[in-house]
Amino acid sequence: MLPAYITQMKVVFCKIQNLVKILAAKGSKNVYSTCSADKSQLTVLACMSATAHYLPPMLVFPGERFRYNPLEGFTEAVLGRTKTGWMDSELFYTWVHDHFITAIKNRKVKRPVILLVDGHTSHISLETGQLCKSENVILYCLLEHASHILQPCDVTLFGPLKKHWRDSVRDYQFKKPGEFVTKGTFASVFKSAWVNATTVDLAIKGFRHTGLYSFSVGSVDKSKVEPSAVFARAKSDKDLGNDDDMNCKDAQVDSRPVTHSSGTYILDPKPVKIADEAETEIALMPSEICDSVSCETSHTIDEELHDQPPCLYPETIIQVNPCNVNVTPHQKKTK
């Protein structure tokens, strides 16, 4: 399939308030920075193809009616509106129908066209699937939790885009001291970040490094899917400790007797492998429980069983975490 037929759509969040590094005296404990009190963030939907063609971004604002022009300064962008400011299935359907399909028709791209999405619930509604099927668009969901290796926008685009966004916010504050980026000025400030980040080189490298075009399994950076150092160390320690013939000096043994009416139960003194004390604790039977199950030999068996709690019977297996301690019955000695 030609690269013009492979596109990827992804949502990114841009915070209106950005914390940047400031110059301060060495050793200062309290360092202040003047920033906006607005801590909200706006959703941006980006889409690019393997031929480095970028669709105009969709800026999603919370609310339905605005007292300001949300796209002032960036009229080429697409306006999206939801109650929460997040992408939902209805807005995604609108984007596919009104913008994505219209764009490929205007560019006279032959179909079928592959549209790669991240599998979020807002991207896989029944209506959107039927629309893509009727328009000969293959809506393909990439694997979950693999955006850092399989999604071109995450691999190459969003990192530089966020960096340019922080630079645009800083430049805006330098040019207009005392003013901050708001929802009304977001589009104009974001435009410069979008123009600087959406380069041909980033789009081509994004599809190449993810192995999507040209298709190559070896292009994926396998170092990003290796287990963490903590997990690898824990696994190696577990493998080294699988030998059952351990030194008995490191084993903890409890052989205290537990008296019951039908016999005496003694904790089996067989050595038990115990993990590091900082990681594992053995839950030994409290002495009060032992006292509660002890009884006088003059009582009959029926009276003793009647007096005991219903959960304490000879069949009871005492389980010790993390390993089981065997309970061996012995007949009671008669005088």
Contact 206, 156 (CB under 8 A): yes
Residue in 209, 199, 120 with CA at minimum distance from that of residue 163: 199
Residue ranges covered by each domain of the chain: 3-16+34-218, 250-330
Which residues, in sequence order, are bridge partners of residue 48?
A: 8, 54
pLDDT at 236: 59
**DSSP letter, residue 139:** E
Determine the angle formed by the axes of helices 158-175 and 186-197, rounding to 10 degrees: 130
pLDDT at 1: 54
Between CA 234 and CA 236 the distance in angstroms is 6
For residue range 280-298, list pLDDT tens digits in order.
444 444 444 444 444 444 4
Between CA 160 and CA 24 the distance in angstroms is 27
Between CA 273 and CA 95 the distance in angstroms is 60
What residue ranges of the chain have pLDDT lower than 70? 1-5, 16-22, 32-39, 228, 230-335
pLDDT at 167: 92
Q: What is the CATH code of the structural domain delimited by 3-16+34-218?
A: 3.30.420.10
Phi, psi of 138 (to 5 degrees): -90, 110
pLDDT at 158: 93
Between CA 254 and CA 325 the distance in angstroms is 9
For residue range 9-26, list pLDDT tens digits in order.
888 777 766 555 667 778
Contact 182, 16 (CB under 8 A): yes
Residues listed for the chain: 335
Which two three-digit tokens encode residue 12? 């990114």
Give the global pTM.
0.63
pLDDT at 274: 44
Phi, psi of 123 (to 5 degrees): -105, -5
The beta-carbon contacts of 216-222 under 8 Å, at least 24 apart in sequence, are 220/149, 220/150, 221/149
Classify residue 58 by burial, with Cβ atoms within 10 Å: 0-12, 13-18, 19+.
Answer: buried
pLDDT at 207: 93
Contact 74, 187 (CB under 8 A): yes
Question: Which helix (H) or strand (E) segment is 14 a member of?
Answer: strand 6-15
Residue in 12, 332, 330, 310 with CA at minimum distance from that of residue 163: 12
Report strand pairing: 41-49 vs 6-15: antiparallel
* AA letter at 239: D
